[in-house]
Amino acid sequence: MKLNALGGAFMLGLCLCLTLPSKTQAGFVPFVIRGGSTTSPTINESGGTYEFLITEGGQKAALGSSDIDGYTLGSISKLSITRTDDFDRFSSGSGPNVAPYLNFWITDGAGNFAVVANEPSNAAFQSLYNNGSYDLDFADLSDKVAKIYETTDKSWLPSNGVGLTFGDLSGFKIQAPTVAELTAGWSGLGTGAPRELTTNIAYGVNWVFGDTLSNYVAGDPGYSVVGPQVAAVPEPGTLAIACMALLIPGLRRRRSRR
């Protein structure tokens, strides 16, 4: 009977572990990163559609989510967004045609942060763009060039941050710096870093619009997008810890009955 009860507790814990859900996003937040010389980007939201109006050079805005902060880059299971504006008004392969672009805050957990990104006009990245949509997982990103921004100290990164792919960074955690960390700043932190203008609130995963008028549209109509989603699955080590956390209370109760 003891063995059967213990076996039952184990099987229950195993079943619970196998059905642990991946972490999914509850909603992206629209925010302005940087204004232009006289104005800031305009963000209109209606019925789940976000429209970004970039009207002069230097403007930048984004949709950000911190819902998978703490997960590694390699654990991304879904990352998607769809454009609803007429992107064919721009030449194929240009920045406006394949916007928005994607970036992540990553950290080594020891106080170092960087933004990892790849421009949408990069030829290798364009294969991920499908008729106005991105629908990605980490396997899609792993062999693509990963450019490092917002820090001049890259000594904590593989190969000092040179010649990297996203796969080289798979074990780094997605984590936005805190308001205090961004307010204090560090060497190499620029005005284009994905953080909210004036508040310094930041998000680990960002779909970014704007930057310069040579890459992005000026005036109305803007970029319209729907359905931003992000999800991650627990790493095997994290999953094992979760399983043990589920099993230990049952084992303790079992011992107390002896």
**Which of helix, strand or coil describes residue 131?**
coil
Gap between the Cα atoms of 113 and 163, Å rounded: 18
- Contacts of 89 by beta carbon, 8 Å cutoff, 6+ apart: 96
Q: Tokens for 124, please give them.
A: 């290798």
Q: Tokens for 71, please give them.
A: 């997960």
Gap between the Cα atoms of 197 and 98, Å rounded: 25
**CA distances to 37, 56, 62, 74, 253 from 29, in Å:** 24, 22, 8, 23, 44
The conformation of residue 178, written as its DSSP 8-state character, comes to P
pLDDT at 186: 97
- Give Cα 85 to chain centroid, integer Å: 23
Give the range among 53-67, 93-107, 153-167, 240-254 with minimum mean pLDDT. 240-254
Mean pLDDT of the chain: 85
The conformation of residue 143, written as its DSSP 8-state character, comes to T
Kindly indicate the confidence band of residue 26, based on its pLDDT and cuts at 50, 70 and 90. Answer: low
Q: Helix crossing, 2-18 with 236-256: angle to 10°?
A: 150
Kindly indicate the confidence band of residue 119, based on its pLDDT and cuts at 50, 70 and 90. Answer: confident
Buried b (16+ CB within 10 A) or exposed e, 133-159: ebebbbebbbebebebbbbeebebbee
**% of residues, the chain, pLDDT over 70:** 81
What φ, ψ does residue 46 adopt, rounded to 5°? Answer: -155, 120
Q: Is the pLDDT of residue 121 over 90?
A: no
What φ, ψ does residue 149 adopt, rounded to 5°? Answer: -130, 170
Identify the bridge partners of residue 31 per DSSP, sorted by sequence position: 62
Give the range among 53-62, 99-108, 231-240 with minimum mean pLDDT. 231-240
Q: Give the tens place of pLDDT for each residue, 209-258.
A: 998 888 888 888 899 999 999 999 976 554 444 444 444 455 455 555 55
Spell out the long-range contacts of 38-43 with Cβ–Cβ below 8 A and sequence spacing 24 or more. Answer: 40/197, 41/209, 41/210, 42/222
Q: Give the tens place of pLDDT for each residue, 133-179.
A: 999 999 999 999 999 999 999 999 999 999 999 999 999 999 999 99
Rounded to an integer, the average pLDDT of 184-195 is 96
Name the pTM for this structure. 0.83
Give the range among 120-124, 176-180, 181-185, 240-244 with minimum mean pLDDT. 240-244
pLDDT at 251: 43
The answer to whether 188 touches 151, Cβ cutoff 8 Å, is: yes
Gap between the Cα atoms of 201 and 37, Å rounded: 22
Query: In terms of DSSP H, where are the helices of the chain?
Result: 2-18, 95-98, 138-141, 179-184, 236-256
